[in-house]
Amino acid sequence: MTFFKSKKFIIGSLVVTVFIVTNIVTSSMGPSSGETAKFNEELSYRSNLGKCPTRPAGTMALQVVKTFEQSHSLRDVKLKILAEKWSDKYFVSDYKIQYDPYTKVLDLNFNCPEPLMKVQIYKNNGTESYEAILVDNGQLFDPTYEALLRSEKKISRDLPYLALPVGEMEDKVQTDVTNLVKDMRPELRKKLSEVILNDNKELTIILSINGQPSSVFMGPDEWSEKIGKLDKIVNYMELKEKIPAIINLTNSKKIVVKFKDKL
């Protein structure tokens, strides 16, 4: 069973001056006094923070710069990133660091995953729960990640909820649910309100269509195939201006659609 890793970072009394132009952060700092004899020319640093929240990713960029200045070694930087788990600590899912000795420019390119869903994990027979954020690489992040993105207006839409028992949050479940949401057509994903996995690993999806809820029973398997069928059903029903209250896809060969006035 996989639990989310804590993604906490601490910014102490460090004062950071950051210049942002078209999402490029440029920092120019000379070597420390102890390294002046070794590096007698100013080094330049250029950072692209991609989709990352600026505060944690910017802090990681400064840590990379500091490490590089000390040894002038990209290998030392990589070892430090791995040893101190900076990628986890600062939410950075992908990074590329290059140095051009001719121009003396250190290029840092970071990127962070897209948040897909809020995960509500229940334990002790549903009396307790905790939250995490499911991102597009299948990992679970601390809710701080969403808060940071919202504070910088890098995410504005409401995230749908994924609710499941604590015993079901396995690697395969995370991967299957992640792929399910990622593969949804954008217009269908916008209608996604909640995804529920029960103790029998049967999936239920709650859609919000024109402000009306629609429950979709997906069963325990063939989710990818059923999502394709669901997309066609929803698209057709919207054209007919009829919103089904229940769509039963448990048996992919026998689709049952019920409307509220027929319940």
pTM: 0.74
> What pLDDT, in 10s, does the model give residues 203-228?
999 999 888 889 999 998 888 889 98
- The rounded distance, in Å, linking the Cα atoms of 252 and 69 is 60
> Is the same domain home to 106 and 132?
no
Domain, as residue range, for 207: 115-262
> Is the same domain home to 258 and 129?
yes
CA nearest to 73, candidates 56, 96, 97, 52: 97
In a domain, 11, yes or no: no
> What pLDDT, in 10s, does the model give residues 105-150?
999 999 999 999 998 877 666 567 778 899 998 888 999 999 999 9
Binned at pLDDT 50, 70 and 90, residue 1 comes out as: very low
Contact (CB, 8 A) for 131 and 165: no
Which pLDDT value is given to residue 4? 44
Number of domains observed in the structure of the chain? 2
- The rounded distance, in Å, linking the Cα atoms of 250 and 45 is 55
In a domain, 7, yes or no: no
